[in-house]
Amino acid sequence: MSDCVFCKIVQGEIPSNKVYEDDKILSFKDLNPEAPVHVLIIPKKHIASLTEVNEEDAEIIAHIFKTIPKIVKELGIDKDGYRVVSNCGEFGGQSVPHVHFHLLGGRSLNWPPG
Ligand code: AMP
Ligand code: ZN
């Protein structure tokens, strides 16, 4: 989508600090990190939220989860542990309407979230 900030990152119109990229997905550092390690993992295809995921998109989401072991090892957070979270819709606190998974690590994280 032309006015989507994450689509603009995918297209290189907005710069990002990339940590992983392949033909289907992209991972880059969050602009406002909430932990020593905070990256986002997104499908290159514009999907508004997890609520919109269809059969075809489900393969891309699965691909993200298959790639997480590689990313966490590269970031050095595989041993200590980490959290993957996707905020959906208004009550979920989603501010960018393009599916993304936050990958947080580098410190002990609190639970439950606020
Ligand atoms: P959410 O609030 O769950 O939708 O997460 C959106 C995240 O995107 C926030 O953590 C923002 O800090 C992050 N963000 C927004 N714009 C950018 C950008 N241009 N580059 C990197 N991260 C961004
Ligand atoms: Zn988008």
The per-residue pLDDT for 83 is: 98
32 lines ligand 1 (CB under 6 A): yes
Instruction: Note the CATH architecture for domain 5-105.
Output: 2-Layer Sandwich (3.30)
Q: Given a cut of 90, is residue 114 above it in pLDDT? A: no
57: alpha, beta or left, given left = phi > 0 and alpha = psi -120 to 50? alpha
Beta bridge partners of 13: none
For 6-30, write each residue's pLDDT tens digit.
999 999 999 999 999 999 999 999 9
- 100 catalytic per annotation: yes
Strands across the sheet with 18-21, in order?
18-21, 25-29, 37-43, 101-105, 82-85
pLDDT digits (tens, 9 = 90+) for 46-76: 999 999 999 999 999 999 999 999 999 999 9
Listed by start position, the domains of the chain span: 5-105
Rounded Cα distance between 38 and 44, Å, is: 19
Calculate how far, in angstroms, residue 98's C-alpha sits from the geometric centre of ligand 2.
5
